[in-house]
Amino acid sequence: MSDAPQEHADRLPAATAVPTSTPTSTPTSTPTSTPTSTPTNPPVPYEDGHWRRMHPTTPAIKGWKVLVAVVAVAGYQVSDNIDDVSGLMHGRWLLAFVGVLVVVALVGFGYSALAWRATRFQVTDDAVHLHTGVLSRQQRQARLDRLQAVDVVQPLLARLVGLSELKLELAGGNGSAFSLAYLRDDDATALRAELLALAAGLHRDAGPATAGAVATTGPSSSTTVALDEATSAGDGLLGAPGAPQVASPTSTPAHAPALPAFADAPERPVYELPMPRLLLATLRSGASVFVVLAITASAAIAVAARDIGAAFVMIPMLLGLVGFVWSRINQGASFRAAISPDGIRLRHGLTEARTQTVPPGRVQAISLGQGPWWRGPDWWRVEMNVAGYAHADKQQDDTVLHPVASRDEAMAAVWLVLPDLGVPDPQATLDAAMHGRDDDGGFTPAPRRARWVDPIGWRRHGVLVTDRALITRSGRIFRRVEVVPHERTQSIGAEQGPLQRRLGIASFVLHSTPGPVRPSVAHLDQAVVAALLDEQAERARTARASAGPEQWMTRREVP
């Protein structure tokens, strides 16, 4: 279930929007309300759960972070006076400096220990309750029916001692995320399975769960199928006629034995990114090209000015570009994706290992992008919008579905989000979206008069509406394809500038939750845009009415 319609601040004055209605699903159980006042005594445990603490090593890890931060700030402040500082690092001044570090360490580790003792959390059938704070206490509640994703994060220092951080991403924008740091690796994995099972609609008294079972709910039927059957169904990309070929998944028994409740669900690997491809793709990216240009420009400035110091003007930009390239390698290392009953599982990271689990139906939109330097090997970067990943600092690592996908892997990534595109030949449709132009694949293209406002890429602009989603394509040099399921549409709009108005064309915009995907297609015939405004709003309402429950393992009985 997607959030309420999001309005974009950068809308043009001439834009018109037709918001679609967003009915809310009724949860199977009523969440416990968040207390409004802080009691002076320790909180009383809820009836269906017990209070838990973080791992006792947590204060040491967080205290070490405080010490490193203080040293880094102090080093930055004195970096301009290295000679003066080096002269003070003798005798009493050195002892004073060491004493300050000891005091900072004691304060940091001491406060972290107090914060650890005051922090506790509890998991009920409806929510996660978190109590924190030393001087100012805070009580928070995360409703499990609003759970968008669960991540297990292992920073380098925590990984060395076998600890992990559990992050809960909720539908609610900035400030809604939950962080439980730090837990043992096994405890974090078990808690992730527990939260996903409860969010799916299971309960502690429901008995053992069946491994590999997926609840499939429709408007007129309710069935439970095994994971093998779900991933090989004829209406999905994999297993369907003409489906893309990916790495062979490991087999999962069609009738798996019963496991204890909240056991970690089985998974089937879908694709994995080889490290050589990631390195080569990074070298062929636009950032690497800018790094080479920056180095060349620095050398040229130094030679022209006959002063090596003149080249230092380019150092800040060069460091920024190098940092961007390193982040792409660090985040994309060991990237692999799998499908399981509790959603899409993504694992990646070099210095910080991250395991993401996005429950079914939580992806709001998906995009495929390709720059000119990736055109030869036909590589694509696949990104997604998830309601919980609305933070600006997360859009580089948490919203990536595949950093460097081949053509077949890009199609498999779309299948992970939307197994049924609502077309007879999904592979041909996606191929037309990725490489076609004009009316290839049944797309409605931009009219010929659009060449006056976009002489290079007007033949790539197009839109296709299927039974399940709206697909847009654009760009000749930088190609882009967006796929939005009808039920995930937030609102729609039309934008028309003065030149577009004179030519009888307009741009169609589909608003999604905040993220890297901003679906739109420019310079369509204004009659086509007007029809899309009316028809897409009705499609979104109809799709939401027939969508499955938020708690995807809850079975609906047919009256």
Q: Are 229 and 252 in contact (CB under 8 A)?
A: no
- Bridge partners of 444, per DSSP, are 463
Cα-based distances in Å from 216 to 447, 467, 540: 42, 18, 20
* Tokens linked to 455: 């002489």
CA–CA gap between residue 459 and residue 262 (Å, rounded): 51
Amino acid in the structure at residue 381? R
Confidence (pLDDT) at 436: 94
Q: Which regions of 353-420 does DSSP assign to beta strands (E)? A: 353-358, 363-370, 380-386, 400-405
Which residues fall within 8 angstroms of residue 12, CB to CB, at 6 or more apart? Answer: 495, 497
- How would you label 5-44 residue by residue, b for 16+ Cβ within 10 Å and e otherwise? bbeeeeeeeeebbebbebeeeebebebbeeeeeeeeeeee
User: Which amino acid type is present at position 251?
Assistant: S
- Secondary structure (DSSP) of 259-321: E-TTPPPP-EEEEE--HHHHHHHHHTSHHHHHHHHHHHHHHHHHHHHT-GGGGGGGHHHHHHH
pLDDT in tens, the chain (559 residues): 444 333 333 333 333 344 444 443 333 343 433 444 444 444 444 344 588 999 998 888 887 777 777 777 666 655 555 555 555 556 577 777 778 778 878 888 888 889 899 999 999 888 999 999 888 888 888 888 888 889 999 988 888 889 999 998 887 666 677 889 899 999 999 999 889 888 887 776 644 444 333 333 333 333 333 333 333 333 333 333 344 444 433 333 333 333 345 677 789 999 999 999 999 999 888 888 887 887 787 778 778 877 776 667 677 777 777 888 888 899 999 999 999 988 899 999 999 899 999 987 889 999 999 999 999 999 999 999 988 775 544 445 689 999 999 999 999 999 999 999 999 999 999 999 999 999 999 999 999 999 999 999 999 999 999 999 999 999 999 999 999 999 999 899 999 999 999 999 999 999 988 889 999 999 999 999 999 999 998 999 998 887 766 665 554 333 3
Give alpha helix (H) positions in 218-262: 227-231
Q: How far apart are CA 526 and CA 543, in angstroms?
A: 25
pLDDT of residue 298: 77
Q: DSSP assignment, residue 101?
A: H
Starting at the edge strand found earlier in the chain, the sheet holding 363-370 runs 400-405, 380-386, 363-370, 479-485, 469-474, 462-465, 444-445
- d(CA 525, CA 463) in angstroms, rounded, equals 11
Look up tokens 């930088």; give the residue.
478
- CA-to-CA distance for 373 and 286, rounded, in angstroms? 7
Asked if residue 21 lies in contact with residue 27, where contact means CB atoms within 8 angstroms, the answer is no
First-to-last alpha carbon distance for the chain, in angstroms, is: 23
Model pTM score: 0.76
How many Å apart are CA 509 and CA 518, to the nearest integer? 8
DSSP state at residue 366:
E
Residue 391 pLDDT = 53
How many Å apart are CA 2 and CA 171, to the nearest integer?
A: 8
Q: Tokens 């999604």: give the residue.
A: 512
pLDDT at 210: 40
